[in-house]
Amino acid sequence: MAEVVKMPKMSDTMTEGVMAKWHKKVGDKVKSGDVLAEVETDKATMDLESYWDGTILFIGVEEGKAVPVDAVIAVIGKEGEDYKAALDAEGAAAPAKEEKAAETKPAEEAPKAEAKGAAITDADLEKQGVTVVRMPLLSDTMTEGVIAEWHKKVGDKIKNDDILADVETDKATMEVMGYADGTLLHIGVEKGAAAKVNGIIAIVGPEGFDISGILNQGDAPAKPAADKADAPVKEAAAAAPAEAQEETHTADGSRLKASPLAKRIAKEKGIDLAQVAGSADGGRIIKKDIENFKPATAAAKGTEAASAPASAEKSAPVLAQYIGEEKYTEKPVSQMRKVIAKRLSESLFTAPHFYLTMSIDMDAAMAARVKMNEFSPVKLSFNDLVIKAVAVALKQHPNVNSSWLGDKIRYNEHVNVGVAIAVEDGLLVPVVRFADGKSLSRISAEVKDFAQRAKAKKLQPSDWEGSTFTVSNLGMFGIDEFTAIINTPDSCILAVGGISQVPVVKNGAVVPGNVMKVTLSCDHRTVDGATGAAFLQTFKALLEEPVRLLV
Q: Which residues participate in catalysis according to the annotation?
A: 524, 528
Phi, psi (5° rounding) for residue 481? Answer: -160, 155
Report the first-to-last Cα separation within the chain, whole angstroms.
Answer: 62
| C-beta separation of 61 from 24 below 8 A | no
Phi, psi (5° rounding) for residue 25? Answer: -130, 170
User: 3-state SS string over 176-217?
Assistant: EECCCCEEEEEECCCCCCEEECCCEEEEEECCCCCCHHHHHC
Write b or e for each residue in 297-330: b if 16 or more Cβ atoms lie within 10 A of its Cβ, otherwise e: ebeeeeeeeeeeeeeeeeeeeeeeeeeeeeeeee
| C-beta separation of 543 from 518 below 8 A | no
Distance CA 286, CA 278 (A): 7
Mode of pairing for the β-strands spanning 426-428 and 421-423: antiparallel
Phi, psi (5° rounding) for residue 194? Answer: -105, 145
| C-beta separation of 476 from 487 below 8 A | no
Distance CA 495, CA 226 (A): 41
For residue 450, what is the DSSP state?
Answer: H
Reference 212, options 198, 126, 220; nearest CA is 220
| C-beta separation of 504 from 510 below 8 A | yes
Reference 221, options 185, 203, 195, 248; nearest CA is 195
| C-beta separation of 60 from 4 below 8 A | no
Measured CA to CA in angstroms, residue 416 lies from 207, 390, 453, 472 at distances of: 56, 10, 19, 14
Residues in the chain, total? 551
Distance CA 285, CA 234 (A): 26
- The one-letter amino acid code at 142 reads M
